[in-house]
Structure formats: C-alpha cells, structure tokens
Amino acid sequence: MADSPEQFRGKSRLPRFAEPLRYDLLLRPDLAACTFSGSAAVAVAVSAPTRFLVLNAAELSVDGSSIRFQDLAPTEVVQFEEDEILVMGFQQELPVGEGVLTMNFTGTLNDQMRGFYRSKYEYKGESKNMAVTQFEAADARRCFPCWDEPAFKAKFKLTLQVPSELVALSNMPVVKDTVHGPLKTVYYEESPLMSTYLIAIVVGLFDYIESSTLEGTKVRVYTQVGMTSQGKFALDVGVKSLDLYKDYFATPYPLPKLDMIAIPDFAAGAMENYGLVTYRESALLYDEKLSSASNKQQVAITVAHELAHQWFGNLVTMEWWTHLWLNEGFASWVSYLAVESIFPEWNNWTQFLDETTSGLRLDALAESHPIEVKVNHVSEIGAIFDSISYDKGASVIRMLQSYLGAERFQKALASYIKKYAYSNAKTEDLWAVLEEETGEPVKDLMTTWTKQQGYPVIYAKLNGQDLELEQAQFLSDGSSGPCMWIVPMTSCCGSYDVNKKFLLKDKTDKIHIKDFAASQIADRGQNFWIKLNIDQTGFYRVKYDDELAAGLENAVKTKKLSLMDMIGIVEDSYALSVACKQTLTSLLRLLNAYRHESDYTVLSHVTSVCLGVDKISADATPDLSRDIKQLLIKLLLLAAKRVGWDPKDGESHLDAMLRSLLLIALVKLGHDETINEGIRRFHIFLEDRKSSLLPPDNRKAAYLAVMRTVSTSSRAGYDALLKIYRETSEAQEKSRILGSLPSCQDKDIVVEALNLMLTDEVRNQDAHDVLRGVSLEGREVAWAWLKENWDHVLKTWPSSQLVSMFVNYIVSPFTSEEKAAEVSEFFATRVKPSFERALKQSLERVRISARWIKSIKREPNLARTVHQLLLQEV
C-alpha cells in the first residue's frame, strides 16, 4: 500500500514532494463536436525522494502512452475519478531537482458551466457555441491535468488553436497568431505566478470597446456582436476602479491588460480571472433604455468587486479554501468603498447594510458555519461561497476598519499586499501585519469573529445612571450558544457628539453614563435616548430594555438618528421578533414609527421587514392577515404617493430605486389601486414597447400585478409576458419576467412556470429567477414539482451552488414542523455533501417559522394593536 498509487486516495490535499513551476499548454477546442484536445509540458520541481507524481485531473482522457518525465515513461498510470487525481508511478525514484512532465489529453466541452464548457449564442439568427472556462473553485482539472490548489502558483504560457474567424482571449495579451486556412494558432505572453483557478479562455465571435487607465493599462469590454454600447458603463466603472485601487493598495495593477467579457451561460454573477474577467450578461451590460436603476448599481458593484480581486485574491491569494473569506469578504467590502467614491450620490455605505443584514440572518442559524471553515474534500468547497464568506466577511472587515480607523487600516493593507504579492497568505498573516502596523490586539479580537460561528446579541438595561450590558450568542431559534466575543462597542446618548468607544471583553460590563453624558442622563425627559452600535459598524444585534426601546422609537419618529441607525433598529427588532425575544405586536408599533420615512436606503429594509411580517401572518393569524396587510400598506403609502408611477425630471438615482421598491411591495401586499394601475400601464406597454408609461424601473411591479389576475381559465397575462420574454434579447428584462411568472396565485400556472426551466427556453443559469419568484400559494405545488423532477434537477444543475438554490428556495418558505419532517424524510436517502448544508439550513428556517407562529398565536394584544394603528391618522 505504502508504495502503490492507492496511498494517495481519500486525501484532501495533494502531496508536496513535487510542485509545478511553469506550464506550457496547447489547447484545441472543437466547437462543432463540443470536444477539445490538448498537450501540456510542465516544469516540475521535485523536492523529496519519490517515484510518484500526483496531480489533479477530472473528466479528462489522459493518453498514458504520451506521458514522459524527462525521458522516463511511467510504469503505472491511474486516474481515481472520485478523488479527481492522476497518479503516475515510475520504475525508480525521480531525481530531486527540476524536470519536465509532458502528456496529451482530450475532454468534452460540457454544458455544466464549469471547467471548459460551451455557451450558446445567436449570430445572424443562427445558434452557435462559444468555448468558455470557469475554474473556481477546483475545475481547472477539467480542462488540463494540473496541481489544482491555490498554493501551487506557477507561470502559464498558453497556445490556442481555433477557427480563424473567432476571437480567442486568455489572461495575457497575444504575442502573435499564425493562420493556416480555416484554423489559426494564437500564442499568448507568459503570465506571472498565479493559481490555476484564475486561468481563463474564451473563444467566440465578439466586438469590443476600449479605454485606458491613467497608467496606460488597456481595458476592454467584450460583448456579443452589436452590443458594445451596453458595455460603456462597465468600462467606465472598470477604468475608475483600477485607478482607485492602484492608489488604495499602493501597488500598480499587475498585468499588461484587463478584459471584461459578457457570457450568455454563466453559473455565478462574475469571475475575477486574472486579466480576463467573465460575467453573466446581466452583471456587465447596462442599457439606458432597458435597464433599471438597480441593474445599474448591480453592474457597478460587481465590476468593482471583481477588479478588487486583481489585488486581493489574484496577486495575493488565499493559501487554501479555508481562507476563501479573505478573497470574498475583502472584495465585497472594498467594492463599496470604490462605488462610494465613483458615485457618492448613491449613498453606498448605507446600502452596505444590505450585505450586513444578509450575513446576520444566515449566521443566526445553528447550521451556519465559521468564516474560516475547514475544507476536507473538494466537493465541500462550493458550499462555502455563501453569505458568511461574502457578507459576514465584508461586515467584520468594516467593523475592524471602524475600530482601527480608515487611515491606519489602509496603510496596513498596502503593507500586506506588498509583503505577500505573487504568493499565498492565511488569515493569521493578515492579522499579523495589521497588528504590527497598528499596535492593536487584532489577532485576539478578530479570532473570536472568524474562528467561531455566530455573533452576539447585547442586552442593554438602564439601572440608575449605569448602562448594564450582557452578551450572549444570538440564534433565530431563540436558544443561546456558549460562545463569547471581543466586541468593539460604540454608544451615543441623545446626540452623536456625545459618544463612547470601548471593547466588551467579558460576558457582562457596565458603562457609567454620567462619565460621558452627564447632562443627558440627569435630564431623562421625553427626548432621552441611547443608541449602541453607532451606524451599525459592529456585527451584532442589540436588545434594549423597555425604557431604552421607547426612547429609540421616539428618536425614529422625530428623525434624530442616522439612516444607518434607523436601519439597524428595525432589522434588530425584526430578528428579535423572529427569535421570539420580543412580540410581533411591539414590532408593528415600531414599524408604525417609520410611516413618514422617505429615504430609499431605510425603506428598502422597512419593506423587506413588512413583507416578512405579511408572510408569517398569513400562516400565523389568517383571520387578522387582511388587517395586517392594510396596516403595512398604510405604512408605505405616503412614500409611494410621493414618488408616484412616473419618473420626475432630474430625480435622484435613489428615488428611481425607491419607486420600483415601493410599487413592487404594494403589489405583493395586494394594494388594489397599485395593482390596477400596473395592469393599465402594462396594456399600453403591450401595444407600444417604447411607451414612457412603463420605464424599466416600474416593469417588475406591473408584471407582478398582471400575474395576480392570471388563472388557468384567464391566462392572457401569462401568455403576453411569455411573448415579451421570447422577443427580448435583454438579460435583465428576461430576469424580470421569469421572476414574475411563478408569482401567480393559481397553482397550475405556478407549475407551468416551473416547467419552463426544464425547456431550452430558460438558460440553466437563470433558474434562480424562477425559483425565488414562487408565490406563497405555490409552495405546495413547487415542493411536489421538485420531488417529481429531483433526478433531473440533480443531473442538470450539478454544482453545489445551483442545486443548493433549488433546495433553499423551495423548502425555506414552509412554516410547519410536519412539513419539515416530510422534507427530511424525502431527502434521507438522497442527500449529498454538495447541498447538505443548504438542506439543513432550509429545514432550520422552517422550524424557526413554526416556533414563531406558535408565539404569535399567544400574543394577547396583537389584534387590538393592529386595529388601533389602522385607526391612527397618517
């Protein structure tokens, strides 16, 4: 066993006795046959005695007879498919030092949006294939045999043989190409040291537009032929982002060029391949006439995120997937910094709280995971590309920056990038540099946030002139874990000028308020309030005692608080209500204090909470559900009337976003006037697609309104939307329609919308648009549909992220213990590591809802409060 290939099976990492230094790769994709062939010559450094070479290969046919190391042929060649490794055994021990490994191989251009795959596009009415790569996390091995782990950095020299009329792109610029009749050979410059997951190849028909950074780096956006005008916005953001990051990280952009390209079939939102960033079309293309304000913002954030990776991820790369958050958390955080600088009028840091909220919601599950998660097998990597790595990661970085101060933080980051450029780093390496640069106990502080899952809720209680604090792990199921954190606390009293910062290191602590707010505590009148976690920079929740909560509710009404604090208060209150730590009755009272709010950033959180309350009340208190809907409508109506249906000349970007947000919410809550107006405008739009009565920002609301009237016997609205879907080539418009079709209250129509995903009409990447649109009335049929089509779903959407999405969107909306048991039973014999975490999290959400419903049913004053609030003057 010790001397056989078997010894390398079942390991999470490759052995370190041989490492690649440089790859020379030739690839020949055949776009008609959907296959490819290739050859590799890899300079390998053998550092310890071995007669084996072990590297990764998956779904490749390696020609064993072509393998040579120097002039040695292996005596055994074994591919272990389940381990995705290729083991070559030689007659005698290999000499220590450098040698060249050569081999030939073939593979399939698959349709699974990973590895080397094909994507369909139309050119002059004809369907064509393009060849595309997506290698993160561990799919370079599906294109060529390689040491497919981030720490095995090497230089890459690529050569492609492709049809001569096509554009062939890779990470580096083209050195030369030679044409031989129908084929051309394209030679690329050698890359600097980089990880395999960042290699990229795209072959197809494209146009491009280009610009340059201040340093003279050429930046291009490639699109399908005739669509380059839709790439202008991303190009502009891209150039500005590169200029900004060069200064922020105090390091020039590392490569000679940067290309960004839109791919029709793409599993993620985008991928930061070094020098050739790939995007799904809706994340890169922006059309003034067809895209909404929120699409525009999404493109800006996505471009800024991917380009941040060129430094944080590509130049300095995580040592192993355990440290994925270093890549994703940082790119998420710094993308907001870039967009705030480019578009200050978007109030982007306030919108960052969307990320924090999504991290806090997921991390309140017992089935969450720490930011740093142990990865034992390659199949587990996909499951950690989630809201913890991205959103919690970004939020704890914001918390640390706020604690250390922006300037000190930036200087330390620049030192980190310089120190680890062209190599790999672990989380501890970053803490060490930050500690060295700032003299603060960064490692001790941050380890409590990255090595253990969850976060605390801080209980705040006023006792005389002391504020008593106690921390406990916050979980949405109402229980409390044993963990403790070092919490960077901030507090202010009656005014933002009167504030205090400190670290909460123990389970309990006490602040003497008179030490920093003597006059405020002495005069505890009507306008007295204390707010902890100023501007929500900390990743924790706060539960105030009744006196403090009443003071903050009054501060919300009288607009004494910052936008970020207005958001924090409503989000904490909603989370505490879900966990049955406060009543739904008190949450509704608090929501009512926001009825004069007109700011988009605050109202986006208020509407999200309103829709959550609407959903739970439908199951918890069906008799009161209609009145609760009316109350929630009343809350949003003032702001909705202010923005109306028609855009105003010169209105702000945020008002355009607000209009869309409120109209959609009012339609979902069943507001007849909004629904009827949406339908009226839709019919005008059907006759004239250029009508100014239904601009892109308002279409989703109108489409949802139309679907509320559709049934099996009256399906004209469904058919009309499907017709628009078939006629548009615009990805964002297609997405709006796919999200509207299953929102119908008629179950048969919901099934029809779900079945669309099984046809060629919907690209596999767009399934999530359909899944997240399913109405409350469609829950049961969606679950029946999933059970019936499970084998097909697993085969068609095999990657962890995609299959997890089906489980999450279809299971999570249920709210009973019985349903949780039924789902568990179905999956008992079908669960796989790729979606096990998503299944456990979804079941936990169902049980949390069931517990919340029981609690709501026991609230004595709910009906009376709802009726009182309904009667209040607006």
Confidence of residue 526 (pLDDT cuts 50, 70, 90): confident
CB 455 within 8 Å of CB 388: no
Above 60 in pLDDT, residue 1?
no
- Residue 873 confidence (pLDDT): 73
Rounded to a whole number of angstroms, the distance between the first and last alpha carbons of the chain is 79
- Residue 874 confidence (pLDDT): 63
pLDDT digits (tens, 9 = 90+) for 532-569: 999 999 999 999 999 999 999 999 999 999 999 999 99
CB 204 within 8 Å of CB 128: yes
**Residue 471 carries which side chain, given as an amino acid letter?**
Q
In sign, the C-alpha dihedral spanning 797, 799, 802, 804 is: positive
pLDDT digits (tens, 9 = 90+) for 353-412: 999 999 999 999 999 999 998 888 777 887 778 889 999 999 999 999 999 999 999 999
Write 344-349 long-range contacts (CB < 8 A, 24+). Answer: 345/652, 345/653, 345/654, 346/297, 346/653, 346/654, 347/563, 347/600, 347/601, 347/654, 349/564
Q: What's the token pair of residue 277?
A: 């960033």
Cα–Cα distances (Å) from 450 to 161, 409, 726, in that order, read 46, 18, 46
| Stronger pLDDT, 689 or 676, i.e. the higher one | 676
Q: From 13, 19, 83, 835, select the one nearest 374 (Cα to Cα).
A: 13
Beta strands in 621-662 (DSSP E): none
Q: How far apart are CA 66 and CA 830, in angstroms?
A: 40
- Residue 522 confidence (pLDDT): 65
In sign, the C-alpha dihedral spanning 390, 392, 396, 398 is: positive
Catalytic residue among 306, 380, 733, 836: 306
Q: From 329, 305, 308, select the one nearest 243 (Cα to Cα).
A: 308
Mean pLDDT over residues 286-297, rounded? Answer: 91
Q: How far apart are CA 2 and CA 15, in angstroms?
A: 14
pLDDT digits (tens, 9 = 90+) for 293-331: 999 999 999 999 999 999 999 999 999 998 999 899 999
Its pTM stands at: 0.94
Give phi and psi for 68, each to the nearest 5. Answer: -140, 140
Helix then strand then coil, % of the chain, to nearest 5: 45, 20, 30
- Residue 802 confidence (pLDDT): 87
Note if 288 is an active site residue: no
Which residues neighbour 543 within 8 Å (Cβ) at sequence distance 6 or greater?
A: 457, 458, 459, 460, 572, 576, 581, 582
- Burial (CB < 10 A; 0-12, 13-18, 19+), residue 376, is exposed
- Burial (CB < 10 A; 0-12, 13-18, 19+), residue 720, is middle
Q: What's the token pair of residue 37?
A: 């062939």
Mean pLDDT over residues 811-820, rounded? Answer: 97
Confidence of residue 583 (pLDDT cuts 50, 70, 90): very high
Confidence of residue 85 (pLDDT cuts 50, 70, 90): very high
Mean pLDDT over residues 752-762, rounded? Answer: 95
SS3 42: strand
Q: From 40, 421, 329, 571, select the one nearest 337 (Cα to Cα).
A: 329
Q: How far apart are CA 354 and CA 561, in angstroms?
A: 18
Above 90 in pLDDT, residue 784?
yes
